[in-house]
Chain A
Amino acid sequence: SQQGEEDPQALSIQEGENATMNCSYKTSINNLQWYRQNSGRGLVHLILIRSNEREKHSGRLRVTLDTSKKSSSLLITASRAADTASYFCATRIYGGSQGNLIFGKGTKLSVKP
């Protein structure tokens, strides 16, 4: 079963607008990561947020984590056409297999110039 579920599945915005993507998960986690994937390419790591953290920033990215609601959000401010990609959250389950990051199905973001 899917541990992480991103919402929405697809998002279309104009350049300059903010984009918010959400990730919900089912079981306790050690931490949560966000990745970006351009079409037909490998994934690129964006941010890792630990279970004892509530918010992290990296450039135009802001990630929040609410462990009581088992959810995280990724905010991209002042979006650019180059931000067009799919965004995935990935969780390592508390007490789970050492090798296993569980990925959601992703949010496909389209930023129109």
Chain B
Amino acid sequence: DGGITQSPKYLFRKEGQNVTLSCEQNLNHDAMYWYRQDPGQGLRLIYYSQIVNDFQKGDIAEGYSVSREKKESFPLTVTSAQKNPTAFYLCASSIGLAGQSEQFFGPGTRLTVL
């Protein structure tokens, strides 16, 4: 099956810890994205990457970091600098750039800070 996978589905973090969320796609898409969704809200862009070894900050990049060493993978690290990390995190990919084509989303990771 082609698609995007995210793991884990649920993640619990203690304050002061860094955690890494996994995102893998086998759609051969160049562009990948990380979004954050808070209850009753739309999606806000954290980071995006158009090609391997390149990525750009989105609207709310502070306290997050990413890497894009492989086309298929775009992991997101939530650092201790992120003051309010409890949220639903969604990874997406697209053939072309955002807005030029549809985005395919993973099932999401729900992060809770204890």
Contacts and interface: CB of A to CB of B under 8 A. Distances in A.
Given A40-B88, A41-B108, A43-B92, 11 more contacts: A2-B42, A30-B99, A31-B100, A33-B99, A42-B106, A92-B99, A98-B97, A99-B50, A100-B99, A104-B42, A105-B41
Contacts, number: 73
Interface in A54-113: 88, 90-92, 97-101, 103-106
B108 A101 contact: no
A48 interface: yes
Interface in B94-111: 97-108, 110
21 contacts: A2-B42, A42-B4, A42-B105, A42-B106, A42-B107, A43-B90, A45-B102, A45-B103, A45-B104, A48-B101, A48-B102, A90-B43, A90-B99, A99-B31, A99-B33, A99-B48, A99-B50, A100-B59, A100-B98, A103-B44, A105-B42
Given A99-B58, A104-B42, A31 B105 contact: no
Nearest to B47: A99
A93 B45 CA distance: 14
A101 B41 CA distance: 15
A11 to B, nearest CB: 15
A68 B110 CA distance: 39
Nearest to B105: A42
A99 to B, nearest CB: 4
Interface residues of B, number: 31
Interface of B: 4, 31, 33, 35, 40-45, 48, 50, 56, 58-59, 88, 90, 92, 97-108, 110
Interface of A: 2, 4, 30-31, 33, 35, 40-45, 48, 88, 90-92, 97-101, 103-106
A106 B42 contact: yes
